[in-house]
Structure 1
Amino acid sequence: MDINDIFIACADKWAKDELDDRINFALDNFDEWISNYDKEEKELLVKLLQNFDYYSHSSIVAIMEQLNLKILKEYGISSEDSVISVVRKADGKLNSSYEYWLLHRMISGFGKGMYCDSINDIAEEYWKNIHKVVYLDDCCGTGEQFTKFIKRQQKSFENKQIILVVIEAVEDAKSYIKSELAKQGLNVEIVVYNTKEKALKNMIQQEKKLFYKMSQKQEIFKDYVLGFEKAEALMAFYNNTPNDTLGLFWFMSKKNKPIFPRELEEKPGWKLSNEKKKRRSREQYESKCQ
């Protein structure tokens, strides 16, 4: 199969609901990206591309509406005993979970009182009346981020139903979350639009070796060759590409100009200025010590 034909077919699928800037970027940069690979390597990329999913904003809205109906029907989410929250980062920085949380608020029909970005802020007198806690996010690659997040919470989840709602998940991540949190006696359900196996799971050893060789040749940082914590995901979203995705598709290097580059987090000026001062002070100190 010709990889160019496969890519066009993939792009048509990704743009079914909307042809956005990220798809246009992939179309514009595909030829340069693929020029780095030989015939055998392109054949391997064909397999990966066919399983790669991209979600535009329009498709996410439609999917979120489906998932919302699902949690209403299967879990009876309501203002009577439910709260909808965010999978917050340990450092408190904004992440994709906030974006999907706000999007859900727009399409769900629920009042804003059901939405709380930190359950730790809920008074105990109200917390005892809550029986279902819904968390929203874009994806789940390994499950480690979510399990660590739950363990950081100050509130007790005893006798409560935890429901994680995501667009795409790797099968192993779902199993990991349920088994890991079950050790804490926690009841967790995972509602997913698209569940997939690890990208290299069904490849023969020769293909896996070739993939590693390709990634090394393209100078993909070793921690991201298989995605973060070896998630082996194949997905990208309108707002970013998760680092769970195989590095060839998003990791920028001198050799690799990916079709779905990950948005890098830039530090604000007020933080950089302090770091520059510290750096200058250290340099002045070191020069005096020489």
Structure 2
Amino acid sequence: MAIDFPDNFPNIEQMLGILQKTIEKSWKIEIDIDDIYSWLNNFTGQFCDAEDEKRIALWILCNYTYYNPDDINHLCKILYKNFLHDVIVKNNLYEEDSIEKELKNVCFSSIGSASESGGLLLYHFRQQANISIDRFFYPTSIDSTSENIVVFIDDATLSGGTALRTFFKNVENIPYKSIYYLTIIASKEAVEKLSEKGINVIYCTLVDERNKCFSDASMVFYRFPELKDLVKNIIKNYGEIIEHEMPLGYKDGEYCFGFYYNTPNNSLPIFWSSNNWKPIFARKEKLQNAKQLHFAADRYI
């Protein structure tokens, strides 16, 4: 079966040209055209014409957002500045001495474990915020008092579940003055869940239905709505082969983004799965033992 593409839908050569420029100017990643062709070879024509499958795969890849190290540094700097502003305003801190005193009571930690890239993200954050290492703690070793501000740092929260589990497990029953959740990407649903528990959420990007690849409001297909359902079926069918439990990503995320150090499982599995599949953005699995966890965290903080 061949796909009846609109006349203005870009062809394979055009999209490869776009991706070459994107890789060079924006992503700044060690991926070349051979890597893209290797990934495209996953699409073998099981559900429609093979060349058409490759064409729609390239279209989705052109809509992928990749956060490189410079992006992470920039966004961590923004998070810290916004956090400082919030603390200063909410606590009526007008003098430099009072601000410095308040910041000495801040405890920073990651969401999840070092195996989930938490240690690496904290490294970026600490470098950009120029914070002493003694203000960073493992989630399980936060020694808080009623004067402390507890701050968890994460790259993305889309359901809010991991953040809430970390809160209930590690800080719900210890004293603290206030608690913050700093994240690069958040969904409205996650922000509402965390705010209901008294957690102050600061984010750089708020995603919604427009960021989901196949939603009715999808920005990926706003120019070509007639293709959306057909493409969704093809991508979902491949997803069921390589990640049967989450063919469109965890909790049907349908997202198209990832970080240089890892790819969230909420994003489409066609990007990251390695189950009889050649990923374009490999997903790093969790480390399994305590020795690995401590090594990973200490290396980057």
Q: Is the 8 A contact 1:120 1:155 kept in 2?
A: no
Task: Tell whether the 8 Å contact from 2:158 to 2:189 is kept in structure 1 after alignment.
Answer: no
CA-CA distance at 1:113 after TM superposition: 3.2
Match of 1:32 in 2: 38
Q: C-alpha separation between the residues in 1 aligned to 2:13 and 2:179?
A: 44
Secondary structure at 2:179's aligned position in 1? strand
Distance (whole Å) between structure 2 residues aligned to residue 115 and residue 242 of structure 1: 24
Say yes or no: does 1:210 pair with 2:234. yes
Q: Which amino acid aligns with 1:228?
A: Y
Cα deviation, residue 122, structure 1:
0.3
Structure 1 SS opposite 2:239 = helix
Where does structure 2 lack aligned partners over 5 or more consecutive residues?
1-9, 89-98, 219-227, 293-301
Q: Shift in Å at residue 120 of structure 1?
A: 4.3
Asked if the contact 1:85–1:115 (Cα under 8 Å) also holds between the matched residues in 2, the reply is yes
Q: Does 1:247 align with 2:269?
A: yes
For residue 161 of structure 1, report the CA deviation from its aligned partner: 3.5
How has the CA–CA distance of structure 1 residues 212 and 118 changed in structure 2, closer, same or farther, with 3 Å as cutoff?
closer
Q: Does the CA-based 8 Å contact 1:215-1:248 persist in structure 2?
A: yes
**Deviation string for 1:122-154 (max 9, x for gaps)?**
05xxx1111x32211222232221122212124
> Of 284, 287, 297, which aligns to 1:263?
284
The CA RMSD over aligned residues, in Å, is 3.1
Q: Which residue of 1 aligns with 2:28?
A: 19
CA distance in 2, matches of 1:10, 1:214: 22
Once the two structures are superposed, the pairs formed by residues 83-102 of structure 1 within 5 Å of their partners are 83-89=107-113, 94-102=115-123
Letter in 2 for 1:116: F
| Superimposed CA distance per residue, residues 45-67 of structure 1 (whole angstroms, 9 cap, x where no aligned partner) | 34422331111112211222222
TM-score by length of 1: 0.73
For the 8 Å contact 1:157–1:186, the answer to whether it is kept is: no
Question: 1:238 corresponds to which letter in structure 2?
Answer: Y
Measure, in 2, the Cα distance between the counterparts of 1:14 and 1:164: 31
Question: Structure 1: which amino acid aligns with 2:106?
Answer: S
Corresponding residue of 1:198: 212
- The residue type equivalent to 2:167 in the other structure is I
Q: Quick check: 49-58 or 207-216, which moved more?
A: 207-216
Larger deviation, residues 43-52 vs 133-142: 43-52
Output the amino acid matched with 1:87: I
Aligned pair count?
252
Q: AA paired with 2:107?
A: V
Offset of 1:205 from its aligned partner? 3.8
Q: How many Å apart are 1:108 and its aligned residue?
A: 0.5
- Alignment partners' CA distance in 2, 1:265 and 1:157: 28
The alpha-carbon distance between structure 1 residues 120 and 54, as it changes in their structure 2 partners (threshold 3 A), is same
| Percent of pairs with identical residues | 19
**Alpha-carbon distance change, 28 to 236 in structure 1, aligned in 2, over 3 angstroms:** farther
CA shift, 1:195, in A, is 3.0
From 253, 276, 281, the counterpart of 1:231: 253
Q: Please name the residue that 2:163 is paired with.
A: 146
Cα distance, 1:232–1:57 mapped onto 2, change above 3 Å: same
Structure 1 residues not aligned, in runs of 5+ = 272-290
Q: CA deviation at 1:248?
A: 0.5
